[in-house]
A = this chain, B = another copy of it.
């Protein structure tokens, strides 16, 4: 429900994190969904995590409502409206990166593969803003949680933000932390830090998502960090979306970053409600695509897209019965 309803969006990431733990939410009386009832991709994430018995932890880097779960606090305010020119306090950007790095180092000690996902409302617009400032031609390439991708709206928001800060395309090529503080969000330095700490300590990382994870890669690249052992993992619904262009976007940032996508066969589901993902709604998020790939890897292919689909349908069925979603 990224950006669609300003009263509800502040609950999105919180509700998603609670859903992963409990299979229901504490902060709202339903499952996270778009205003027209499309359910959260957290359904996929939760199913995949359970199926392959993959442990997970939630990092809170700026949620407005704190989730009723044990979460790792990065102790930061929600990101600001980029049109005002103050997205994240500059000092917080560096600190969030450092906190992420510390955490990544710890995670790497007992995990050879770490998947990092996100749930943030309006995140593709801030991703666009940061990439433009870093000199990456991301216009019309970024993804959306809606089928009618509002590229013009996003471009206009970013243009206004850049005008206000008197920053032009590529001006902040070597200053990613400044780019984040002006046009980004608190997720970016946090995830960049986790990735950096993890790979420095010998772990591999899947950045689970599309556009927003491109922004993270662009930040790491701008910090001149070596981009080894890092890949992007998403669903085919993002990777093959004809209203955005993830493949070219990744290539334009770095040719060192493999992009993996998985087919979850949701178009073939016996549950019509799940077709939405394949029809351009939601598509990915809450790490769904990346975690699905990790599940396939961990099970050495025993859990494939078809096995996963059956389990997702079961989880969806449970939700339909419990919350009467469509």
Please give the residue numbers on chain A whose beta carbons come within 8 Å of chain B beta carbons, in ascending order. 21, 53-57, 59-60, 66, 68-75, 99-100, 102-103, 106-107, 109-111
A70 and B99 form a contact (CB under 8 A): yes
CB distance from A242 to the nearest CB of B (A): 38
Which residues on B sit within 8 Å (CB–CB) of A110? 55, 110-111
Closest 3 CB pairs of A and B: A55-B109, A70-B99, A73-B73
A72 and B70 form a contact (CB under 8 A): yes
Smallest CB gap from A54: residue in B: B109
Using known A-B contacts A21-B102, A102-B21, determine if residue A66 contacts B55 with beta carbons closer than 8 Å: no
A69 and B99 form a contact (CB under 8 A): yes
Which residues on B sit within 8 Å (CB–CB) of A71? 72-73
A54 to B21, CA, bound (A): 26
Stoichiometry (number of copies): 2
Given contacts A57-B106, A70-B74, A72-B73, 17 further A-B contacts (CB under 8 A): A21-B102, A55-B109, A55-B110, A56-B106, A59-B70, A60-B73, A66-B73, A66-B75, A69-B99, A70-B72, A70-B73, A70-B100, A70-B102, A70-B103, A72-B72, A73-B73, A110-B111
CB distance from A56 to the nearest CB of B (A): 7
Smallest CB gap from A103: residue in B: B70
A71 to B70, CA, bound (A): 10
Smallest CB gap from A67: residue in B: B75
Which residues on B sit within 8 Å (CB–CB) of A100? 70
CB distance from A198 to the nearest CB of B (A): 12
Which residues on B sit within 8 Å (CB–CB) of A99? 69-70
Which residues on B sit within 8 Å (CB–CB) of A107? 55
Which residues on B sit within 8 Å (CB–CB) of A74? 70
Which residues on B sit within 8 Å (CB–CB) of A21? 102
Q: Show 20 residue pairs from A and B whose CB-CB distance is below 8 angstroms, ordered by the A residue.
A: A21-B102, A54-B109, A55-B106, A55-B107, A55-B109, A55-B110, A57-B72, A57-B106, A60-B73, A66-B73, A68-B75, A69-B99, A70-B72, A70-B99, A70-B100, A70-B102, A70-B103, A71-B72, A110-B110, A110-B111
Smallest CB gap from A71: residue in B: B73
B69 and A102 form a contact (CB under 8 A): yes
A316 to B21, CA, bound (A): 42
Which residues on B sit within 8 Å (CB–CB) of A55? 106-107, 109-110
A69 to B110, CA, bound (A): 20
A21 to B54, CA, bound (A): 26
A56 to B106, CA, bound (A): 7
